[in-house]
A and B are shown apart, each in its own frame.
Chain A
Amino acid sequence: MDPKMLTEGIVAGRREAGQLADAFEDLHPPLSEHEALVAADRCYFCHDAPCTVACPTDIDIPLFIRQIATGTPEAAARTILSQNILGGMCARVCPTETLCEEVCVRETAEGKPVVIGQLQRFATDTLMAADEHPFERAPSTGKRIAVVGAGPAGLACAHRLAMKGHDVVVYDARPKAGGLNEYGIAAYKTVDGFAQAEVNWLMKIGGITLQNGKALGADLSLDDLKAEHDAVFLGVGLGGVNALGVPGDDKDGVRDAVDFIAELRQVSDLAALPVGRDVVVIGGGMTAVDAAVQAKLLGALNVIMVYRRGKDRLSASDFEQDLAASRGVRIITNAQPVAVHGNGAVREVEFAFTDDDLKPTGQNFRLPADQLFRAIGQTLIADGLPDLDGRKIAVTGAGRTSVSGVWAGGDCAAGGDDLTVTAVAEGRDAAEDIHARLMG
């Protein structure tokens, strides 16, 4: 064993550059043309296809697969992108195993769905490689619309509005556009700077101005935005992170998983990114898996994910759980944290086993940890926003908020799963609604 694996504490350079490059390579390597044709051939072109019904953006999946099968992946890409302008990213990050591919009739019949996600990537990659933007902007309407947040919802909204001839200003707090596509997804799901390439490609529609480093609250107010624009779309995401609420939560080495994931995506040299030897991740969702798997790939010796409910309640899909297991991550369920121990820095995390009603069973255990990631959910930073429904912005119809002229979509809006593809659908539909309202 490499002695660096055994070094205690949070240290950089646990693995060589070459090992890291291999570890972080594309999770699903792109299909070759031949593979795509063979995969496309398996599609039955179902009527009123279950896959399309399952897709939050209603992509006509049988049609685009048939277009691949007949040698026109560019036409396939148009079919995809006309419904979902971020179809390239969704092809990479969608949990297809719980959406389109789960309901594929070949999954039902044979336990082996048509690989819809990979075919979607084949089509969109083909079109984007040709550096082609397939949509044309309508003549200018003279309307100005502010989009707050350059994540999937904001970008989808901005593109659809720009396509209809409106002028759009997209504000984002971070230095780069893309939102969670750029800062919140495991590196092996979107390699080679795809998130930025996709943003650049999307911007080719014209009529969109990006303003980075502008945060709602700090630099912008909703009232000002409303006054200066004909409409406002809020796609601000969830900027806050839930605390553990246990003693010791503030010790050194305790960190939000989203920050770790964001830093990893932005670092130019993975060998320079420090990681613990014994890493514990608390949470049961995609963020927890992304943090746990990437910590392991960086060279952590032991990575354990701990989730307070039973395995059946894990929100990470079976595919994600298998991925974690195959990379050496251990998942413990029915255990909730009770304390973080250590003198200054975390040394151990103490858990209580729980039953399915989250009642402690009275049995506690400790896990050694020099790094602890919190991944128990994000929250909306709600100051100065329209009315809430629970902990998110209340919306009716296609993202209409309690404030006239203000729409919202994506993770910050109530309803829908917190998925990239759902955000795209909400941004797109809000754009249609804004357009209808402004031009009606």
Chain B
Amino acid sequence: MADLTTDFVGIKSPNPFWLASAPPTDKEYNVRRAFEAGWGGVVWKTLGEDPPIVNVNGPRYGAIWGADRRLLGLNNIELITDRPLEVNLREIKAVKRDYPDRAVVVSLMVPCEEEAWKKILPLVEETGADGVELNFGCPHGMSERGMGSAVGQVPEYIEMVTRWVKQYTRMPCIVKLTPNITDVRKPAAAAHAGGADAVSLINTINSITGVDLDIFAPEPTIDGKGAHGGYCGPAVKPIALNMVAEIARSPEMKGLPISGIGGVTTWKDAAEFMVLGAGNVQVCTAAMTYGFKVVQEMISGLSQFMDEKGLTDTSELIGRAVPNISDWQHLNLNYVTKAEIDQDLCISCGRCYAACEDTSHQAIAMSDDRVFTVKDEECVACNLCVNVCPVEDCITMVEMQPGQTDPRTGQKVVKDYANWTTHPNNPGAVKAAE
């Protein structure tokens, strides 16, 4: 059995599955239940200064659904904890005392003033918590007050606050990043420069999940009005994966630990974040949709996957795909594939034909008796037919071998790697090495 234990910036946990700072980790009752269900750690829902904030008294969440009302994306306008600081600190201390083997990290958000951070950090340290996470990500409500993503969108502020935190506590410091920026490497680099031990990402994305077309107001609607919220859940995973990968492969931030967040729902999602460089993952929407028990599938699945791959320790998994994250300009232009339709699996729906004929390269032929075949002389291997086909593995992309002639270009497939940087059509092409 693979060992799922992780050591993230010195914080050990029995598995890499932590609950993200969010409603599930707002209080002792929840966190104890989460630990009993098997979660490896929690980031306690963000603490702020007293008096505590207040929340709206109407709906805090909006959602989008897939077929069969599967929840795909969740949006929230809830703020940080609305309970007194002292109550949270007391509960954190009690939980950490009873679960010494689990990770308990405390999320913090106070104004961008040195005194505010200097004041709260010793109080957190006194609880015995394993570390702090700086909430520079919340995109709604708190950002209007100069906190959350308002800080996360200004790299200078990130660096400044991170420095204060490193100055006033010995606890590991994780900086949580907002995706509501253009280049996530900038805030990550600022955190790095400020001395952060790690970054975590992504926080939620600015969003309106829908509009009530009877009252012409965004959802969730509070007394006829709506405000943008933070979007999360399975729908945001691709965005999060890319941002994690961008930081993981950045030479400037080489070795900076990353806690991956954004739509982790199954073991597979977690494995994807981890091979792209995340040292662990944080989960919220899956727990909010299915309950704490959902972690059991993540544990058994990741363990089985690692066994099948012959991996015994999570450290062998983390970052394994990073060397394969490339820039477009370095992709091999001599790699040629063609779509192939398995006629035994084909159910003759014609979706590949419609997609290719109407919107792509007219590379699929349709016979009178609904047999669909690929025209190799037209196929550019775009993969759209694969993506729209309802039958898994019915259409596959088959690699052409060196020496074969691509009927579309009339050119022989060559074995050698060649990319855009040396392509004759590239006005800035550099001459290939002799």
Q: Is the CB of A63 within 8 A of B68?
A: no
Given A42-B68, A63-B293, A63-B296, answer yes or no on A75-B301 (Cβ-Cβ < 8 Å). yes
Q: Report Cα–Cα, A34/B297, bound state, in Å.
A: 20
User: How far is it, in angstroms, between the C-alpha of A70 and the C-alpha of B302 when the chains are bound?
Assistant: 10
B5 sits at the interface (CB 8 A): no
**Per-residue A-contact encoding for B284-305, CB less than 8 Å = 1, 0 else:** 0000001101101100110111
| Residue of B whose beta carbon sits closest to that of A74 | B304
CA distance A72 to B304 in the complex (A): 8
Pick the contact of B268 from A47, A71, A74, A78 — CB < 8 Å? Answer: A71
Knowing A71-B268, A75-B300, A75-B304 are in contact, say whether A66-B294 is a contact too (CB < 8 A): yes
| A62 surroundings in chain B (CB, below 8 A) | 293
Q: B residues within 8 A CB of A79? A: 300
**What are the residues of chain A within 8 A of B291 when measuring CB–CB?**
45, 47
Q: With an 8 A cutoff between CB atoms, is B392 at the interface? A: yes
A70 CA / B267 CA spacing, docked (Å): 8
**How many Å from the CB of B41 to the closest CB on chain A?**
21
One of B68, B293, B297, B391 near A67 (C-beta < 8 A)? B297
User: Chain A: which residue is nearest B291 at the CB level?
Assistant: A47
- The residue in chain B whose Cβ has the minimal distance to the Cβ of A69 is B266
What residue of chain B has the Cβ atom nearest to residue A49's Cβ?
B293
Tell me the chain A residues, 58-112 only, with Cβ under 8 Å from chain B: 62-63, 66-67, 69-72, 74-75, 78-79
Q: Are B266 and A70 in contact (CB under 8 A)?
A: yes
Nearest CB of chain B from residue A329's CB, rounded to whole Å? 36
Residue of A nearest to B305 (CB): A72
Q: How far is the CB of B123 from chain A (nearest CB, A)?
A: 36
- A residues 352-374 touching B (CB-CB < 8 Å): none
Interface string of B369-410 (1 = CB under 8 A from A): 000000000000000000000011000000000000000000
Q: List B contacts of A34 (CB < 8 A).
A: 391-392
Interface of A is mostly: helix
Within 8 Å of chain B (Cβ to Cβ): is A41? yes
- How far in angstroms is the closest Cβ of chain B from A64? 9
Cα A66 to Cα B299 in complex, Å, equals 12
Query: Which residues of chain B come closer than 8 Å to A74, judged between CB atoms?
Result: 304
| One of B68, B293, B301 near A72 (C-beta < 8 A) | B301
Complex CA gap A70/B303 in Å reads 13
Interface residue tally on B, bucketed by range:
10 to 19
Tell me the bound Cα distance from A348 to B297 in angstroms: 60
Q: Which residue of A lies closest to B307 (CB)?
A: A74
B residues in contact with A47, CB < 8 Å: 291, 293
With the chains together, A41 CA to B68 CA distance in Å? 9
Q: Which of A174-191 contact B (CB under 8 A)?
A: none
Find chain A residues with CB under 8 A from B68 CB.
41-42
Query: A41-54 vs B: 1/0 string, CB under 8 Å?
Result: 11001010000000
| Interchain CB contact (< 8 A) of B297 among A41, A42, A66 | A66
Distance (whole angstroms) from the CB of B71 to the closest CB of chain A: 11
**Across the interface, do A78 and B300 meet the contact criterion of CB distance under 8 Å?**
yes
Residue of B whose beta carbon sits closest to that of A67: B297
Residue on A with the closest CB to B298?
A: A70
Contacts of A66 in B (CB 8 A): 266, 294, 297
Q: Considering the chains assembled together, what is the distance between the CA atoms of A66 and B301 in angstroms?
A: 10
Contacts of A45 in B (CB 8 A): 290-291, 293-294
Given contacts A34-B392, A41-B68, contact A67 B301 (CB under 8 A): yes
Residue of B nearest to A41 (CB): B68
- For residue B289, which residue of chain A has the nearest CB? A45
Verify A63–B304 contact, CB threshold 8 A: no
Determine the distance from Cα of A62 to Cα of B300 in the docked complex, in whole angstroms.
Answer: 14
Known: A70-B267, A75-B304. A63 touches B297 (CB 8 A): yes
Secondary structure call for the B interface: helix
Contact with A along B270-291 (1 / 0, CB 8 A): 0000000000000000000011
With A42-B68, A45-B290 in contact, do A70 and B297 touch (Cβ < 8 Å)? Answer: yes
Choice from A41, A42, A67 contacting B300 with Cβ under 8 Å? A67
Report chain B residues within 8 Å CB of A71: 268, 301
B-chain residues with CB within 8 Å of residue A42 when the two chains form the complex: 68
For residue B345, which residue of chain A has the nearest CB? A34
- Specify which of B266, B267, B297, B392 lies most central, judged by the most chain A CB atoms within 10 Å of its CB: B297
A71 smallest CB distance to B (angstroms): 7
A67 to B392, CA, bound (A): 19
How many Å lie between the Cα of A62 and that of B304 in the bound state? 18
CB <8 Å contact, A72 and B294: no
Q: Which residue of A lies closest to B70 (CB)?
A: A41
Complex alpha-carbon distance, A41 and B297, angstroms: 14
A63 contact set on B, CB distance < 8 A: 293, 296-297
Per the bound structure, the CA–CA distance linking A63 and B301 in Å amounts to 11
Chain A residue numbers with a CB within 8 Å of B294 are 45, 66
Bound-complex Cα distance A395 to B291 (A): 38
A42 to B68, CA, bound (A): 8
A residues near B267, Cβ cutoff 8 Å: 70, 72
Q: Cα distance A71–B267 when bound, in Å? A: 10
State A70–B293 Cα separation when bound (angstroms). 15
Alpha-carbon gap, A267 to B261, bound state (A): 60
Q: Give A108 Cβ to nearest chain B Cβ, in Å.
A: 16
Compute how far the CA of A75 lies from the CA of B290 in the bound complex, rounded to whole angstroms: 19
Q: Which residue of A lies closest to B297 (CB)?
A: A66
Closest CB in chain A relative to B432 CB, distance in Å: 42
Chain B residue with Cβ nearest A33: B392
Measured in the bound complex, the distance between the Cα atoms of B387 and A156 in whole Å is 46
Complex-state Cα separation, A79 to B300, whole angstroms: 10
Which residues of B239-272 are within 8 A (CB) of A?
Answer: 266-268
Most buried by B among A70, A71, A78, A79: A70
Hey, which chain A residues are within 8 Å of B297, CB to CB? 63, 66-67, 70, 72, 75
A69–B37 alpha-carbon span in the complex (Å) = 20
Interface residues of A in 241-290 (CB under 8 A from B): none
Contact A72 B392 (CB under 8 A): no
Set of chain A residues within 8 Å of B391, measured between Cβ atoms: 34
Tell me the complex Cα distance, A63–B296, Å.
8
Residue of B nearest to A66 (CB): B297
Bound Cα distance A182, B392 (Å):
38
Instruction: Contact check, B290 vs A72: say whether CB atoms are below 8 A apart.
Output: no
Contacts of B290 in A (CB 8 A): 45
A62 nearest in chain B by CB position: B293
Cβ A70 vs Cβ B296 within 8 A: no
Shortest CB–CB separation between residue B301 and chain A, in angstroms?
5
A74 to B266, CA, bound (A): 16
Q: Considering only CB atoms, which chain B residue lies closest to A34 in the complex?
A: B392
Interface residues of A in 12-63 (CB under 8 A from B): 34, 41-42, 45, 47, 62-63
In the bound assembly, the distance between CA atoms of A81 and B392 in angstroms comes to 29
Smallest distance from the beta carbon of A43 to chain B beta carbons, Å?
Answer: 10
User: A67 to B293, alpha carbons, bound, how many Å?
Assistant: 12
Q: Which of B326-372 contact A (CB under 8 A)?
A: none
Taking CB atoms, residues of chain B closer than 8 Å to A75 are 297, 300-301, 303-304
Interface string of A213-239 (1 = CB under 8 A from B): 000000000000000000000000000
Measured CA separation A72–B266 after assembly (Å): 11
- Ordered by A's residue number, 7 sampled pairs between the chains whose C-beta atoms are within 8 Å are A45-B293, A67-B300, A70-B266, A72-B267, A72-B300, A72-B304, A75-B304
For the A-B complex with A47-B291, A71-B301, A75-B300 known, give 4 more contacts whose Cβ atoms are closer than 8 Å: A34-B392, A45-B290, A63-B296, A69-B266
A interface vs B, CB < 8 Å?
Answer: 34, 41-42, 45, 47, 62-63, 66-67, 69-72, 74-75, 78-79
Closest 8 CB pairs of A and B: A75-B300, A70-B266, A66-B297, A45-B290, A72-B301, A72-B304, A75-B304, A70-B301
